Structure 1
Amino acid sequence: MRIFPNGWCDEAAIRPSEHFNERPEGEEISLLVIHNISLPAGQFGTGDVDALFCGTLDCCKHPSYQDLEGLRVSSHFFIDRIGRLFQYVSCLDRAWHAGVSSFEGRENC
């Protein structure tokens, strides 16, 4: 497995998300964030995590999704329960993985 110079992984299913921005100039990759997620909570294989990251989640589909209406989040990578690898954002860009975020005093990381 490798990451091409354009930031995309050769073995990932590419699912481009619009929920990202450019990494600030001179900003090196210095933080790895790992989340676990299922939508709805505790249910796997629904395709709804993919829909959330792609901005196509039908928030009327489940009562718990009402809080997700208008949420613009993504991830660089997502590995589903059967081991498939999906990529939503180039590694050269900054995914919006957690909305407003900070780590050790560093904002928007």
Structure 2
Amino acid sequence: MSFSNINDHWLVGARACPSPHYNQRPDGEEISLLVIHNISLPPGQFDGPYIEQFFQGQLDASKHPYFAEIADLRVSAHLLIRRDGSVIQFVPFNERAWHAGASCFDGREQCNDFSIGIELEGTDDLPYTDPQYQALATITRTLMQYYPAITCDRITGHEHIAPGRKTDPGPAFDWPYYNSLIAK
């Protein structure tokens, strides 16, 4: 999939899996930030159905001890990029996904108001896959085209907007490699 087009704020080629965990952005708010995250459920395990269930508010707390801690949380992201590079969209880009929490970028708090959140299936300390980087780079270029206030200096990690509270995408994320891909 090329992921090089957006139709009505949905990424063409991504599988739609709508989440109830979103709301409207403040009136007139311009999308101007891209936040990169990671997630794996259970922690360190990949390819299961649990991330989708979590973002849809359908995570069964009895399936894993960790799930009992998070099952009642109401969170989402705009996109999830799986280990194989496949992409799932949970929230249309023009709406506010609940991914950043308490956050601050360039002196502005409440980053959910003006950002798009992309989750990479992974952990802070395991390398991300090349298909993930390729998909992320293509999507980034597409987002920058459709939402021109997102520029290279307005792409950040969750760890940078919520320091001390969040650590993702972590030291395993290769920022120089990613930046070289989006420059192509």
Do they fold alike, i.e. is TM over 0.5? yes
Trace 1:17-32 onto structure 2 (pairs within 5 A). Answer: 17-32=19-34
Q: Which has the bigger relative contact order, CA under 8 A and spacing at least 6? A: 1
Could you list the per-position Cα deviations for residues 59-78 of structure 1 after superposition, in whole angstroms to 9, with x for gaps in the alignment?
11100111113101011000
Across the aligned residues of Structure 1 and Structure 2, the Cα RMSD in angstroms comes to 1.2
The alignment status of 1:2 with 2:5, answered yes or no, reads yes
SS in structure 1 of the partner of residue 35 of structure 2: coil
**Normalising by the residue count of structure 1, what TM-score does the alignment of the two structures yield?**
0.91
Are the aligned partners of 2:57 and 2:71 in contact in 1 as well (CA < 8 Å)?
A: no
**Normalising by the residue count of structure 2, what TM-score does the alignment of the two structures yield?**
0.55
Runs of 4+ in 1 over 2 A off after TM superposition: 104-108
Q: CA deviation at 1:95?
A: 0.3
Are the aligned partners of 2:15 and 2:89 in contact in 1 as well (CA < 8 Å)?
A: yes
Counterpart Cα distance in 1 of 2:95 and 2:26: 9
What is the aligned residue count? 107
Q: CA deviation at 1:83?
A: 1.2
Could you list the per-position Cα deviations for residues 79-99 of structure 1 after superposition, in whole angstroms to 9, with x for gaps in the alignment?
11111110000000010013x
Counterpart Cα distance in 2 of 1:108 and 1:51: 25
Percent of paired sites with the same residue: 50
User: Which runs of 5 or more structure 1 residues have no equivalent in the other structure?
Assistant: none
SS in structure 2 of the partner of residue 60 of structure 1: helix
SS in structure 2 of the partner of residue 34 of structure 1: strand
Counterpart Cα distance in 1 of 2:68 and 2:59: 11
Write the letter of the residue equivalent to 2:43: A
Write the letter of the residue equivalent to 2:102: S
Counterpart Cα distance in 2 of 1:67 and 1:61: 12
Report what 1:103 is aligned to.
104
Structure with greater strand share of residues: 2
User: Which runs of 5 or more structure 2 residues have no equivalent in the other structure?
Assistant: 112-184
Report what 2:40 is aligned to.
38
Larger Rg: 2
SS in structure 2 of the partner of residue 64 of structure 1: helix
Q: CA deviation at 1:17?
A: 0.4
Counterpart Cα distance in 2 of 1:77 and 1:69: 20
Structure with greater helix share of residues: 2
Counterpart Cα distance in 2 of 1:69 and 1:45: 18
Counterpart Cα distance in 2 of 1:81 and 1:66: 25
